Amino acid sequence: MSNITSQKKTKPPDNSTNQTLPQNGNQQIRKWREWHEREVPVKIIGKKTRTGIKIKITSRELNRELALNYPNSIWTKFPNDNKQLLLDNIAYIFTAHLPFLLKGNIRLEYATGYPHSFLWANQAFVKHLPSYWYLYRARRGTGIMPMLKTILNSRAIFSQRNDIPPSFPDTIDENVIIPFTFGKDSFLTYHLAKEIGLSPLLLWFNDPVDEGYEGKHKQKLFKDFSRRIKDKCLYLDNPLGSLREKGEGWFGWELSMTSWALLSLPFAYKYKSGYIIYSNERSVNSFFYDDEGVRVLPDYEQTAQATEEMSLLTQALSEGEVYTTTFLQGIDEIAVLAILKTRYPKDTFRFLMSCWSETDFGKNKRWCGHCSKCARIYVYLTAIGVNPRKEAGFEDDMFDASKKHLFNVFGQKATGTGWDAFGLNTNEQSLAFYLSCLRGYKHGLLKEFKKSPLFLETRKKIHHLLKEYFSLHSEQVTPPQWKKKIDNIIRSTLQDFRTEIFRLVDDR
């Protein structure tokens, strides 16, 4: 009896069952109720509407009602049972991170069914924990345990409903959806899809709609670019994105690509699209081990493993008809730009935008000039022979000495909470700085880099770096029916680019 009592103190009994309690049973029930009542309820109601989905959140800290509306021609074609499955998953994906943002042990109470995305979302949270702590360590304790406690001490409750399988038409592999961001990777994915004979639908998610200036600039880019090409371009305003953490916070963004994949399913149904093609390059698989030996992946959702796991989710919600993949897992970030410059320069750089434009620096220009992303893309462009200010819309000189803290090649990791803050691309950036020097850039930070030990180190291993960052590497994610064509395009284009660079290196 003493052993049983001890166990029940650590794990309170479920008082909904009829069981014989020891003499102190009433006291234990009170403890269970006290423990249970310490949870903070957050009620989440999801409803299908005539035009899309509505989510209502009620709690002591957060009360919001948000609606997402599809084009009428898309939503009316989507079967009612599919809408319910989509609602179950959308309601969860856009609110699963709330325990990180609200106080207390959160109990998410859903008036929607158990979502297919539940296990995937929790896997993503756990995989992101080390990178969360790395970025939030000044505010979230001395390790990952406080955030792990947030996950373990919070829970989600779903409504019961009949498990109804989705209904989907036979899709066509060549009909593909590209979640389009106007970043370099999106452009390369689009150009590759066109060259190998696919029929792409470009789908831009205006997300979030209530923060920063990114949407403002991309609305103009979308309008101008859609006029230049013959392929269908559509966009979807996503007010649900406003539930994510604001500013430089990450909570909620760890599932952004998952949310876009789910939101794409009604479009896939209408256009019989067999694939959702993301643009995740090799660089996103980079990681390091922290002081406690924990592997830190800056953005797990973009890795090769996560892409394949996400594909299982879209298949489950489409009767096995819609796969999720990427064409770019074999090449690094700077190689993406090199291929664009060498093979697809027309209608690319004039529409390029990778900046998040989160601050007022980006209010009236699409490259804010004050973030590490602007800095990184700027030096990569100069390295491959593209003038950022004349050809890609930059207004700031990112080689000005005041931008030093935004790079990873001057002895400190880049500031901010973006990918560069992890310091994983120092070799790639040093190669870009070195090539920029060879192309005749001499002022500001280039002058300082040329005097640094890293310049000499880069020169010693320049041939190795060129082969490492401008070559096609082995990967297993690209769909086999297109892999040979895509690999041949990438391999031959990078060979041409390396030939040009080797001549430049040898001339110096």
User: Alpha-carbon distance 376 to 422, whole Å?
Assistant: 13
* CA-based nearest residue to 106, from 153, 146, 148: 153
Predicted local distance difference test score (pLDDT) of residue 290? 84
DSSP secondary structure code for residue 107 in this structure: E
Cβ partners under 8 Å of residue 117, min gap 6: 89, 92, 93, 258, 262, 313
pLDDT tens readout for residues 216-228: 999 999 999 999 9
Cβ partners under 8 Å of residue 191, min gap 6: 340, 343, 344, 348
Give the mean model confidence (pLDDT) for residues 62-86.
97
Predicted local distance difference test score (pLDDT) of residue 27? 61
pLDDT tens readout for residues 13-26: 444 444 444 555 56
User: Alpha-carbon distance 232 to 67, whole Å?
Assistant: 25
Cβ neighbours around 504 below 10 Å, total: 13
- Lowest mean pLDDT, pick from 133-137, 296-300, 321-325, 476-480: 133-137
Q: Are strands 172-179 and 273-278 parallel, antiparallel or unpaired?
A: parallel
Predicted local distance difference test score (pLDDT) of residue 456? 97
Has residue 281 got a pLDDT over 80?
A: yes
Q: Are strands 295-296 and 323-326 parallel, antiparallel or unpaired?
A: unpaired
Report residue 169 as tokens: 């038409």
Has residue 464 got a pLDDT over 50?
A: yes
Burial 246-283, CB ≥16 within 10 A → b, else e:
eeebbbbbbbbbbbbbbbbbbbbbbbbbbbbbbbbbbb
Phi and psi angles of residue 40, each rounded to the nearest 5 degrees, phi first: -105, 115
Give every strand in the sheet of 52-58, ordered side by side: 63-69, 52-58, 39-48, 105-110, 155-157
User: Alpha-carbon distance 391 to 504, whole Å?
Assistant: 22
pLDDT tens readout for residues 428-463: 999 999 999 999 999 999 999 999 999 999 999 999
User: Alpha-carbon distance 456 to 375, whole Å?
Assistant: 22
Has residue 1 got a pLDDT over 50?
A: no
* CA-based nearest residue to 175, from 203, 154, 142, 211: 203
Assessment of whether the complete model's pTM goes beyond 0.75? yes
Report residue 223 as tokens: 């309008």
Ramachandran sector of residue 28 (left: φ over 0; alpha: ψ -120 to 50; beta: rest): alpha
Predicted local distance difference test score (pLDDT) of residue 275? 99
Phi and psi angles of residue 371, each rounded to the nearest 5 degrees, phi first: -130, 160
Report CA Rg, the chain. 25
User: Alpha-carbon distance 488 to 493, whole Å?
Assistant: 8
Has residue 139 got a pLDDT over 70?
A: no
Percent of the chain with pLDDT over 90: 76
DSSP secondary structure code for residue 321 in this structure: -
Report residue 205 as tokens: 């998610």
Terminal alpha carbon distance of the chain: 83
Has residue 360 got a pLDDT over 80?
A: yes
Ramachandran sector of residue 91 (left: φ over 0; alpha: ψ -120 to 50; beta: rest): alpha
Phi and psi angles of residue 382, each rounded to the nearest 5 degrees, phi first: -65, -35
User: Alpha-carbon distance 146 to 139, whole Å?
Assistant: 10
- Lowest mean pLDDT, pick from 246-260, 325-339, 383-397, 480-494: 246-260
Stated as kind and residue range, the H or E segment containing 495 is helix 480-507
User: At 389, is the secondary structure helix, strand, or coil?
Assistant: helix
Report residue 48 as tokens: 């299908």
User: Alpha-carbon distance 502 to 508, whole Å?
Assistant: 10
DSSP secondary structure code for residue 167 in this structure: -
Q: Is 24 exposed, middle or buried (0-12, 13-18, 19+ CB in 10 A)?
A: exposed
3-state secondary structure string, 30-80? Answer: HHHHHHHHCEEEEEEEEEECCCEEEEEEECCCCEEEEEEECCHHHHCCCCH
Length reported for the chain:
508
Has residue 61 got a pLDDT over 50?
A: yes
CA atoms within 13 A of residue 55's CA, in its CB half-sphere = 27
- Lowest mean pLDDT, pick from 275-279, 288-292, 330-334: 288-292
* CA-based nearest residue to 279, from 192, 158, 206, 149: 192
Predicted local distance difference test score (pLDDT) of residue 192? 99
**Max Cα–Cα distance, the chain, nearest Å:** 90
* CA-based nearest residue to 359, from 408, 401, 417, 409: 417
3-state secondary structure string, 284-318? Answer: HHCCEECCCCCEECCCHHHCHHHHHHHHHHHHHCC
Cβ partners under 8 Å of residue 138, min gap 6: none
Cβ partners under 8 Å of residue 429, min gap 6: 376, 379, 407, 408, 409
Contact 395, 369 (CB under 8 A): yes
